[in-house]
Amino acid sequence: MLLSGSLRAGSSNEVMLRTAREVAPPGVRAVRYTGLADLPHFNPDDDTDPLPAPVTGLRAAIAEADALLICTPEYAGTLPGSFKNLLDWTVGGTEIGDKPSAWVTAAAPGRGGGAAATLRTVLGYTGAAIVDEACVHLPVDRAQVDEAGVITDPGVRARLAETITRLLDAVGG
């Protein structure tokens, strides 16, 4: 499952995840979660049955996935509020527990470390199985993005494909 931490349709994170769908190994169904903007603000009082419908959808999508690949921007040195909200809704569930998870940082060199550190902390609370060798920094060069919003650089595409393979290797192991 592909999770974007950005609400912007043209963000570097969306570009990375569109590219991930293209470079995923044959037979891999790379599904992108699209309900980030629909999630209600997290409130522990609402984290009970029946859950709000968008939360039920999120948790079901995560439960169905074999692995999670996340690409999120960094805002003010940490995760964007909307994506932290998504993750907060997963803490009370068991869907991420032991699920192989990794992230790709698409930020410019020297940026994105705060978001990655926060992501590692929050995923730790969910019990995710973080696949360190699949957590990479692949900056997006806008000059190498085509009109469909996909990265064309063969080196970046190869590294992204390798990252996905490493994540998938953890599914079987």
Over the chain (173 residues), the average pLDDT of each successive run of 10 is: 93 96 94 96 95 97 97 94 96 93 92 94 95 96 94 97 97 76
pLDDT digits (tens, 9 = 90+) for 129-153: 999 999 999 999 999 999 999 999 9
Which of 108, 102, 92 shows the shortest CA–CA distance to 44? 92
pLDDT of residue 9: 83
Q: Fold for domain 2-172?
A: Rossmann fold (3.40.50)
The answer to whether the peptide bond before residue 50 is cis (omega within 30 degrees of 0) is yes
* Domain locations in the chain as residue ranges: 2-172
> Largest Cα–Cα distance in the chain?
48
What is the Cα 133 distance to its own chain's centre?
A: 15
pLDDT of residue 172: 77
Alpha-helical segments (H) within 65-153:
81-91, 113-126
Instruction: Give the whole-angstrom CA distance, residue 151 versus residue 140.
Output: 8
pLDDT of residue 109: 86
Q: How many CA atoms lie within 13 A of 25 on its CB side?
A: 8
Tell me if 127 sits within 8 A of 97, measured CB to CB. yes
